[in-house]
Structure 1
Amino acid sequence: MASCGGLSRNDQGEWMKGFIYGINTCLEDMAEAWALLKGIQMAKLLGARQVCFESDSKTVVDVITNDSACDSFTDNVLFACKKELANIQAWHLAFIPRELNTAVDHLAKLAASKKGTTVLHQPLESILQCLRMISLVSQFGDN
C-alpha cells in the first residue's frame, strides 16, 4: 500500500501540524503528488498566506514550477495542486534531497497501514528527533 506524509513548521522551524495519508496502490511520483496536495490543503486550513513547500520528487517540483509533463494519473493530482495553490497568496516549491526529508519519510511509513488522512496535532518523539537532526545538518552545512 502506498502512503505519504507531511508536516508544517513555522518560520522558526517548529512543528505546527502534520498528516499521514494512506493512498492504496500507486507509483512513487503519484504518492509525492498526493503529499503535495494534502500539504497545500493543510496550509490553507491553517490560514497560511506565505508558504514554502518542499518535495524530494524532482518530477513533482518540475511539473509545478516549470509546467513539465508527467504521466496522466499523476498529472491529474498535480493539476489539483495548481488549482489549490492559486488560493495561496505567496508560495514557493523547492526540491529537497531525500536524506534531508527523513521526518516526512517517517510519517509516510506510519501511514502505510492506514487508509485516508489522519491529522497529527502533536508530533511524535521520533519526528522531533528527525527535525532536530535535520536542523543540525543544516547548521553544519551553513558553516
Structure 2
Amino acid sequence: MVVFNRKGQNQNLSKEIMNQTLEFFYCVHSPRNPSHKALRAIRWERHPAGWKKLNTDGSCLGGSDRAGCGGLVRDEHDNWVGGFTRHIGSTNSFIAELWGLREGLLLRCNLNIDSLVVELDAQAVVEVFKNAAYVNNVIFPLLDDCRHLTACFHRIHFNHCYRQANRCADLLARMGAIQDVDFISFSSPLVDICNAFEDDFNGVLSNRMCPVLDGIV
C-alpha cells in the first residue's frame, strides 16, 4: 500500500525564492575573509564640521519572520539629531539594510539636512551606492527610492564601518525587528542605547580582527 502525504501549496514560495536569491547576492558581494588579519582598535568616528552623520543597520532575527531596521543622525558635535526604528516583517539581510538606509535618508525631510555622511556596516550596500550603474530588478523600487533621496542632498558621502562602530544603529535595528508597530521616530536617545551612545561620544575603543590590505591594517 502506498500512502501519499498531501501538503498544501506553499503560498509564499515566490517570496522565499526572492529572499534566498537576494541573500545569496548579499553574501557573494560581501568581502570574503582574507587569510591575513590583525588586531585593530575600532570606534565610532567623528565627522567633519558642517556635516551630519547617519548610521543605519538592518536586523533579521534568526529562524523567525521578524526583521527590522533602525538608525540615527548626529550633528558635528556628536549630539543626537533624530532616530528611528522600523518593523519590516519577513525579509533578508540585504533588504533590511536597504530599508534602514531609506528610512534614514527620509529623516532629511524633517531635519533640514543638506550635507550628510552615511555609514553602514554592510559593505555590499555601500558598494551599490558607489556604483551608479548598478541595476537589480528585484530590489529596484527600494533601490530607486534610495537613489532619488540621495539626489536631494547638496553633499552626501557613503562609508563602510565595522559593526563595533555601528552599535547604536545595530541596537535600534534589533528593537525594530521585535516592535509591534511599523515605525517609531525618536527626538532623543533611548534608554536602551544610552550606554552605546555615550561610548561613541567618548571615543571608547573595541578590539577587532581586521583584514590586512597590502600590508596596511
TM-score by length of 2: 0.59
SS of corresponding position for 1:38: helix
Cα distance in structure 1, aligned partners of 2:135 and 2:67: 19
DSSP-derived class of the 1:136 partner? coil
Q: Does 1:109 align with 2:174?
A: yes
Q: Judge conservation of contact 1:33–1:74 (CA < 8 Å) in 2.
A: no
Which residue in 2 is equivalent to 1:59? Answer: 124
CA distance in 2, matches of 1:73, 1:14: 37
2:210 is the counterpart of 1:137: no
Please report how far the alpha carbon of residue 108 of structure 1 lies from its aligned counterpart in structure 2 after TM superposition. 1.0
Residue 31 of structure 1 deviates from its aligned partner by 0.5
Quote how far apart the aligned CAs of 1:73 are. 3.5
CA deviations 1:115-136 (Å, max 9, x no partner) are 4211011211332210222322
Partners of 1:137 and 1:23 lie apart in 2 by 32
Q: Which whole-Å CA distance do the structure 1 matches of 2:98 and 2:175 have between them?
A: 18
1:72-91 pair list within 5 angstroms: 72-91=137-156
The one-letter amino acid of 2:191's match is E
Number of aligned residue pairs: give it. Answer: 138
Higher normalized helix content (fraction of residues):
1
**C-alpha deviations, 1:81-121, integer Å up to 9, x for none?**
01111111111111111121111111111112234211011
Q: Which runs of 5+ in 2 are unaligned?
A: 1-65, 207-217
Tell me the TM-score normalized by structure 1. 0.87
Question: Alignment RMSD, CA only?
Answer: 1.8
Structure 1: 5+ residue stretches without partners? 139-143
Residues 60, 78 of structure 1: 8 Å contact kept:
no
Letter paired with 1:137? L
SS at match of 1:67: coil
Partner-residue secondary structure (3-state), 2:204: helix
